[in-house]
């Protein structure tokens, strides 16, 4: 039996989990691939590009996969407030790319100042929460929504939007994903 495999451009559990949750009947493989953008994307464009680059790169790295998925978190300055932003991309062997974006919430000034000053959000959040690897668990969104929306939950909606577009456009419903 030939098992369907989907490749995700990260080994971060907060990114792999949502894909596994959305597609429970397929093999999900996580491979760290470069985003091709800054470690801390600082615009919608850069965050979106990082997701697209990861989706394409992971499909190149794992050519037996049916599709590649890239998920990228970033920040964006809206007027005078720094917001979280996040994007996802699904890339197919046919060369089609599907895009989706998710939740935005403002970062508190004390966190925003450090990120605007050049620090990456992940380490800032670790210092702020006095925890390690918050990007692999609740993330900033979990901290600032009081645990109501975790990072994986945020990415899950994006993955659902990506998979839904892909199924609709490429008529993959018969694969019983």
pTM: 0.91
Q: How far is CA 142 from CA 34, 74, 86, 125, in A?
A: 25, 15, 14, 11
Residue 175 confidence (pLDDT): 55
Among 115, 102, 106, 109, which Cα is nearest to 151's? Answer: 102
- β strands within the chain, DSSP E: 5-8, 27-30, 67-78, 81-92, 97-101
Query: pLDDT digit string (tens) for 16-69?
Result: 999 999 999 999 999 999 999 999 999 999 999 999 999 999 999 999 999 999
Answer for the pair 147, 138: CB distance below 8 angstroms, yes or no.
Answer: yes
Query: pLDDT digit string (tens) for 117-176?
Result: 999 999 999 999 999 988 888 889 999 999 999 999 999 999 999 999 999 887 654 555
What's the N-to-C CA distance of the chain in angstroms? 16
């Amino acid at each position: 039996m030939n098992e369907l495999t989907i490749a995700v451009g990260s080994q971060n559990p907060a990114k792999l989990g949502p894909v596994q949750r959305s597609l429970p009947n397929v093999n999900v493989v996580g491979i760290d691939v470069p985003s091709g953008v800054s470690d801390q994307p600082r615009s919608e464009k850069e965050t979106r590009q990082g997701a697209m680059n990861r989706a394409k790169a992971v499909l190149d790295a794992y050519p037996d996969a049916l599709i590649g998925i890239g998920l990228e978190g970033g920040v964006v300055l809206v007027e005078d407030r720094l917001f979280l932003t996040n994007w996802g991309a699904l890339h197919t062997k046919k060369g089609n790319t599907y895009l989706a974006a998710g939740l935005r919430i403002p970062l508190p000034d004390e966190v925003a100042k450090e990120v605007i000053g050049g620090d990456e959000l992940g380490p800032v959040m670790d210092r702020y929460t006095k925890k390690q690897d918050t990007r692999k668990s609740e993330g900033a969104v979990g901290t600032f929504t009081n645990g109501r929306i975790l990072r994986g939950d945020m990415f899950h909606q994006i993955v659902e939007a990506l998979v839904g577009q892909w199924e609709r456009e490429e008529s993959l419903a018969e694969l019983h994903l």
